[in-house]
Amino acid sequence: MIKLIESIFHNLSLWGLPVLMIIVGIFEFSFGLYDKKWNRNELLLDITCFVIPRIILQPITVYFTLRLLPVILPGLKDIFSWVPFWWAFFIIAVADDLTQYWYHRLHHQLPFLWRFHRTHHSAPYMGMSMASRQNVIYTIFFSQIYLTAALVYLGLGYAALFVTGIKSLITLAAHSSIPWDKPFYKYKILHPVAWVLERLISTPATHHAHHADSFDDGVGNYKGNFGNMFFIWDIIFRTGIITRKYPQSFGIKHYKQEEWYAQFAWPLLKSKKEGSELAAGGPMVGDEVNK
């Protein structure tokens, strides 16, 4: 049984997740869940962000793990391999996800970082197609990847396989346009489960709120709900709101449909759209300008 679970997570990390994303993505598209907003520019951006980081990020993390870590942490390889599995699991889950919470939160709260994360928020829809949609610089500097790689180097690799697999599944499920959490709010008997679930992990309701383009409906919270795998960080730091409702519209109000290549590779490539955050000399945060 353990071998089977191990094999599932191993295959998930190799090819399972991208395949799962494609299957769910086709389902979402077929049922019109992208609300006819998936035009050519969005499609090119989503596909680029799905394919390119998978090609360039793997060699970077392998280089970091095999070449740089032995220099940074000489003689410490597998030094903590004695840590029991469940403790290693707990340590990595907190270290990885709390680091990503901060990486994410700072990109929203520090104005000079916003434009590296904006690409993820410009999608006017939710779903598998936009789950990987990130600026390439944001992806390369994903801080939790390097922290977890260091913990793997120190001997916690076996637990990391499971944590990163579960985390990817939760994060993808929270981005899905399928509101799988709805039954938990609808049926009274499931309310206690919903109460725990929505505070512990990110769900479509709480994460869709983060991708809303407005606060006006009382549901959207694009300046909060930063949690990726765990929502508990938002509870602790009071950056989250839970409404058990889904926003009416997604994206950013000042979106100018910037060229897919500028959204992917800003500041290396810039937008030609006048007044865009991604144009040469454009504002750092567009919605501050439009107030």
Q: Give the binding site for another protein (CB under 8 A).
A: 10, 13-14, 17, 61, 78, 81-84, 87, 90-91, 94-96, 98, 102, 105-106, 109-111, 131-132, 142, 144-145, 148-149, 152, 155-158, 160-161, 164, 167-168, 171-172, 236-237, 284-285, 288
Nearer to another protein, 33 or 95 (CB): 95
| Cα angle, residue 136 at apex, residues 135 and 137 outer, rounded to 5° | 95
Residue recorded with tokens 């998978």: 54
Shortest distance (Å) from residue 278 CB to another protein: 16
Cβ neighbours of 65 (radius 10 Å): 18
Nearer to another protein, 13 or 249 (CB): 13
Nearer to another protein, 28 or 96 (CB): 96
Show Cβ contacts of residue 184 under 8 Å, excluding neighbours closer than 6 positions.
190, 191, 193, 194, 197, 198
Shortest distance (Å) from residue 19 CB to another protein: 13
Show Cβ contacts of residue 34 under 8 Å, excluding neighbours closer than 6 positions.
28, 125, 127, 129, 177
Shortest distance (Å) from residue 275 CB to another protein: 15
Residue recorded with tokens 């602790």: 236
Shortest distance (Å) from residue 245 CB to another protein: 26
What 8-state DSSP symbol labels residue 250? B
Nearer to another protein, 184 or 226 (CB): 226
Which residue type, as a one-letter code, is found at position 244?
Answer: R
